[in-house]
């Protein structure tokens, strides 16, 4: 089924990279080509505007090493690939319609996306996005005021103290009584890096509002920002991202967004999905890079990751544990077989197309030969036409000269006729009045 290529009320963030990946995934489902060509193109575009240094390093290293990315992408459910790229993870994998995924255990990369309970997996509408953007502005300004006054609230104006008080209330939404470790810090913004990341989150939420064609401002969006992480023990890591567990170890951007949503009275939940399990040590950072790229999960891209993936290696697993994961991925779940079958089917179709292409190439070569012959004939015809043009020009010149001579002759003839008429009239007058021309020879 054709995917939307422009922003809609439900999916307002449909940039060039996302559209290109959707088209690549839909056009043939040749995952090897999808990864090696379209993904490289998308990465090169994203690098220009996002801090993807680690992603570039991992990506280039894995490509040169034989690209286990291709293995990882084949080990991911095709429906999940589509949901990650489109940004509809929470909507597509809502508990009421959740599809088959890997279990929450072992090493691998996962994705998390928020939704509002009672909305069938959907996120916010435009009006609600504007409220959250306004709250983010206040939270960021509170952090700025703390830096200006070095955390000394006694130096602040009443308006500044109100901002800091608001930020402290946000920080304690999921952890009542939480206090900062230093007077200049907030829970979700502790440094310039996190400040810039939250600023980018603010801009992406604003863009979700601005890009939506919904004029009522009340249509709930199916797209929601995605956070991507990796762990060698997903069973311990994934629960930490769920609001009901207090967000004790979640990252800055998702933690702040969930806190603001709850403070606004929303019953916020998350879909947390294991995307791909890894079965060798070097696959963990590589898998995080792949999923981060697919989901466009950096805050600069509309997601919830402040920094790019690829920074964690898994060197603690035993060979037995790795073998267990490999057997699980290859034998207990259908994703590898389904994707591999699709890839080989597409390759076979391409082989058939290659045969047709060979015939077309031969036909094209015949056409080129005929074209050359026609061009030669045309050259000869043009030479003849040039000669005829020259003859025609000469004839026209001679005709012009002949016309002038004819005009002269006609003028002379007319003069002679006039003289003849005059002589005849004079002769006639002389005969009538008796003074015609005398015959002087007789005198």
- Residue that terminates a domain, selected from 303, 329, 355: 329
Same structural domain, 296 and 354:
no
Structure tokens at 15: 């940039």
Q: What is the mean pLDDT of residues 393-415?
A: 58
At residue 348 the predicted structure's pLDDT band, cuts being 50, 70 and 90, is: confident
Burial 261-282 (b: 16+ CB within 10 A, else e): bbbeebebbbbbbbbbbbbebb
Q: At residue 441, does pLDDT exceed 60? A: no
- Residue that terminates a domain, selected from 286, 312, 329: 329
Same structural domain, 408 and 385:
yes
Q: At residue 439, does pLDDT exceed 70? A: no
Same structural domain, 185 and 307:
yes
What pLDDT is stored for residue 318 in this prediction?
A: 77
Q: What is the mean pLDDT of residues 316-328?
A: 82
437 within some domain: no
From residue 276, how far is each of 55, 80, 226, 242, 390 by CA, in Å?
A: 17, 10, 16, 19, 79
Which of 58-67, 168-177, 204-213, 301-310 is the least confident region?
Answer: 58-67
350 vs 109, which has greater pLDDT? 109
At residue 429 the predicted structure's pLDDT band, cuts being 50, 70 and 90, is: very low
CB 314 within 8 A of CB 232: yes
At residue 108 the predicted structure's pLDDT band, cuts being 50, 70 and 90, is: very high
Nearest Cα neighbor of 219 from 105, 98, 126 is 126
Q: What is the mean pLDDT of residues 317-337?
A: 85
79 within some domain: yes
CB 75 within 8 A of CB 329: yes
What is the distance between the alpha carbons of residues 238 and 166, in angstroms, rounded to a whole number? 29
What is the tens place of the pLDDT at every residue in 224-234?
A: 999 999 998 89
Q: At residue 56, does pLDDT exceed 50? A: yes
434 within some domain: no
Residue 20 burial class via C-beta count within 10 angstroms: exposed 0-12, middle 13-18, buried 19 and up: middle
Same structural domain, 276 and 369:
no
370 within some domain: yes
From residue 183, how far is each of 136, 148, 150, 206 by CA, in Å?
A: 20, 12, 7, 30
Same structural domain, 181 and 77:
yes
Give the single-character DSSP code of 227: E
28 vs 13, which has greater pLDDT? 13
Percent of the chain surpassing pLDDT 90: 43
Same structural domain, 338 and 283:
no
**Total of domains in the chain:** 2
Q: At residue 141, does pLDDT exceed 90? A: yes
Same structural domain, 289 and 349:
no
What is the tens place of the pLDDT at every residue in 218-255?
A: 999 999 999 999 998 899 999 999 998 888 778 899 99
439 within some domain: no
Same structural domain, 317 and 410:
no
Write out the residue range of the structural domain in which residue 388 sits. Answer: 334-428
Same structural domain, 314 and 392:
no
What is the distance between the alpha carbons of residues 128 and 300, in angstroms, rounded to a whole number? 21
Q: At residue 398, does pLDDT exceed 90? A: no
- Residue that terminates a domain, selected from 329, 353, 375: 329
269 within some domain: yes
287 within some domain: yes
Same structural domain, 147 and 241:
yes
What pLDDT is stored for residue 31 in this prediction?
A: 56
74 vs 302, which has greater pLDDT? 302
Same structural domain, 103 and 244:
yes
Q: At residue 419, does pLDDT exceed 50? A: no
8 within some domain: no
Same structural domain, 392 and 243:
no
pTM for this model (two decimals)? 0.76
């Amino acid at each position: 089924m054709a995917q939307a290529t422009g922003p809609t009320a439900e999916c307002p963030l449909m940039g060039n990279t996302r559209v290109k990946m959707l088209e690549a995934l839909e056009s043939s489902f040749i995952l090897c080509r999808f990864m090696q060509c379209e993904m490289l193109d998308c990465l090169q575009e994203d690098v220009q505007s996002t801090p993807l240094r680690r992603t570039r390093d991992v990506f280039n290293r894995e490509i040169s090493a034989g690209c286990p990315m291709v293995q990882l992408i084949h080990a991911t459910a095709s429906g999940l690939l589509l949901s990650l790229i489109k940004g509809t993870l929470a909507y597509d994998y809502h508990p009421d319609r959740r599809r088959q995924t890997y279990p929450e255990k072992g090493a691998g990369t996962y994705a998390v996306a928020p939704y509002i309970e009672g909305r069938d997996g959907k996120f916010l509408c435009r009006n609600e996005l504007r409220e959250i953007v306004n709250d983010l502005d206040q939270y960021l300004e509170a952090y700025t005021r703390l830096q200006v006054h070095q955390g000394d609230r006694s130096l602040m104006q009443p308006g500044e103290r109100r901002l800091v008080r608001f930020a402290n209330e946000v920080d304690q939404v999921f952890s009542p009584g939480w206090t900062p470790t230093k007077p200049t810090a907030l829970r979700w913004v502790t440094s310039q890096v996190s400040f810039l990341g939250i600023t980018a989150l603010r801009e992406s939420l604003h863009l979700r509002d601005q890009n939506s064609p919904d004029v009522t401002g009340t249509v709930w969006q199916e797209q929601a920002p995605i956070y991507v992480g990796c762990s060698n023990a997903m069973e311990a890591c994934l629960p930490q991202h769920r609001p009901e567990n207090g967000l004790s170890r979640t990252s800055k951007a998702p933690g702040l967004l969930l806190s603001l949503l709850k403070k606004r009275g929303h019953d916020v939940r998350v879909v947390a999905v294991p995307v791909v399990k890894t079965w060798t040590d070097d696959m963990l950072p590589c898998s995080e890079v792949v999923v981060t790229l697919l989901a466009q999960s950096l805050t600069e891209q509309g997601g919830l990751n402040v920094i790019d993936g690829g920074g964690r290696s898994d060197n603690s697993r035993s060979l037995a544990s790795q073998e267990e994961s490999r057997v699980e991925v290859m034998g207990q779940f259908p994703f590898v077989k389904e994707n591999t079958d699709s890839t080989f089917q597409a390759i076979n179709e391409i082989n058939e197309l290659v045969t047709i292409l060979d015939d077309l190439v031969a036909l094209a070569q015949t056409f080129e030969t005929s074209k050359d012959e026609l061009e030669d004939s045309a050259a000869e015809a043009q030479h003849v036409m040039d000669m005829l043009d020259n003859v025609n020009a000469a004839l026209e010149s001679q005709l012009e000269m002949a016309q002038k001579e004819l005009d002269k002759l006609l003028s002379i003839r007319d003069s002679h006729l006039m003289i003849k008429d005059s002589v005849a009239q004079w002769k006639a007058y002389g005969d009538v009045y008796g003074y015609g021309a005398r015959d002087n020879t007789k005198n």
